[in-house]
Amino acid sequence: MEQQNFNMPLLGDDFPSLTVQTTQGVMNLPGDLKGSWFILFSHPADFTPVCTTEFVGFQRLMPEFEKLGVKLIGMSVDQVFSHIKWIEWIKEKLGVTITFPIAAANDAIANALGMLHPGKGTNTVRAVFVVDPKGKVRLVLYYPQEIGRNMEEVLRAVKALQISDANNVAIPANWPQNELIKDHVIIPPAKTVADAEKRLQQYEGYDWWFCHKAL
């Protein structure tokens, strides 16, 4: 049997140019969102329990994403009329109004993003793509159909990316509640012997290669 080639955007790649039908009209990605951070997240299917909990979770964090200037876009291989009926159901039954667009992905779009995995059936996996204002892919998450995502982690990751970009720093594990340095950020490694020798005079740290500071 001939093996299909499945593409997947890698970190630092340009997000592939896509024209998608959404619940809020046609969108051209990333062009229509140039200059803005956005998150495209796929779900296996409308009218499924795990996906419903995820959409409610993303919607409830919308004010936090908006503070960061981040747009949200949902996507599955269901058609737009299914998306519309599903968000009507969520509003009626759960009292939550979904305000972000939901795109209908055909197989070509899903394959361009690596959302269809041969070993996981014909539905799209739970993918998350974080894209920066230049249209570059900055973070990719893939979850199986049976495991729902943690929206707080997606939000944390976007905050961390923006802070890293703005301050030329690295972000520790579990930030902003890291076990060692709490909400501090990590200073980039010294590049010369002279820099290394004075690092601990300039910053807090455990050694010259592990220095940190408050923002």
Rounded Cα distance, 46 and 44, in Å: 7
The answer to whether 28 and 17 are in contact (CB under 8 A) is yes
Instruction: Establish whether 51 is a catalytic residue.
Output: yes
Residue tagged active-site, from 27, 40, 51, 104: 51
Q: What are the residue ranges of helices labelled H in 44-118?
A: 49-60, 62-67, 80-94, 107-112
Rounded Cα distance, 137 and 140, in Å: 8
Which of 187, 140, 141 has the alpha carbon at shortest distance from 164? 187
Rounded Cα distance, 215 and 209, in Å: 19
Rounded Cα distance, 169 and 23, in Å: 38
Residues 6+ apart with CB under 8 A from 166: none
Which of 158, 182, 173 has the alpha carbon at shortest distance from 64? 158
Write out the catalytic residue numbers: 51
